[in-house]
Structure 1
């Protein structure tokens, strides 16, 4: 994963930000950690129930995600929904640690629940695109002045 998402989150934290979506910076960072850590640790077994749909989902949704045109309105599984009472600075730090952990992970990645087993580079692209999707809903306070 590119460190640019971490840089973006740190910039938003430093400058202050205006929210244009549903989640605050801390919530976004927690969500990103909750979604990307299972790439190393493994996803819950019940998520493999969707395995028969992976070829279709990979063909239909993956190109949209990677092009920056993430599908909207898809409900997030409750296990990946962050709580409301989070500290932005602590969550940005946790996100940076999660990105570093994934970057330094030398083993194979767990199969993605929607896209299945993919090369490490593709998983990195997915996480980077996912982070960009969420972080674009926040704008640096400087940019909105």
Structure 2
């Protein structure tokens, strides 16, 4: 099974795709289940609002380089597979798909209604709300591309 190329306009579309995969069933073409992907995406979205772990600020000097080299690739859907994430953002293996889809959907609602301060991304720095949503949708497209609905019309 080939990795799907996905493009989402907003996080509500991402939540809808997660719900569709939950209802249809899915096949994995990567390391993580739907639950693990939703958990990982939720942790990153919530960190935009609540703040990232303090130790992650160590990469601040690299932000201009990462923003120039890596961010355009991620935003155009050309994010490389296999890059390890910080251990803080690695999900457990025994998560429930239904529970994590629900928690992710709530995180999306929270982000979309948030009007306060957004914390800088450890690798890419500051974003305005719309740009950060675009970042999160691209991040989601990368991860959800490793799952395909079990139904015949995927």
TM-score, normalising length: structure 2: 0.90
| Deviates further, 10-19 or 67-76 | 67-76
For the residues of structure 1 that align with 2:129 and 2:114, how far apart are their CA atoms?
10
Q: Quick check: 1:33 aligned with 2:36?
A: no
Report how far residue 143 of structure 1 moved: 3.4
Residue of structure 1 equivalent to 2:147: 138
Residue of structure 1 equivalent to 2:107: 98
Q: Quick check: 1:80 aligned with 2:89?
A: yes
Asked if the contact 1:55–1:115 (Cα under 8 Å) also holds between the matched residues in 2, the reply is: yes
Unaligned runs of 5+ in 1: none
Residue of structure 1 equivalent to 2:61: 52
Displacement over 2 Å in runs of 4+: none
Residue of structure 1 equivalent to 2:18: 9
Superposed CA deviations along residues 13-57 of structure 1, whole A, max 9, x for unmatched, are 001111111011101100111111010001111111111100000
Unaligned runs of 5+ in 2: 1-9
TM-score, normalising length: structure 1: 0.96
Residue of structure 2 equivalent to 1:70: 79
Q: Quick check: 1:117 aligned with 2:126?
A: yes
For the residues of structure 2 that align with 1:76 and 1:144, how far apart are their CA atoms?
32
Q: Which has the higher helix share?
A: 1
Report how far residue 73 of structure 1 moved: 2.2
Q: Quick check: 1:127 aligned with 2:143?
A: no
Asked if the contact 1:34–1:80 (Cα under 8 Å) also holds between the matched residues in 2, the reply is: yes
For the residues of structure 2 that align with 1:11 and 1:17, how far apart are their CA atoms?
9
Report how far residue 144 of structure 1 moved: 7.7
RMSD across aligned positions (CA) = 1.3
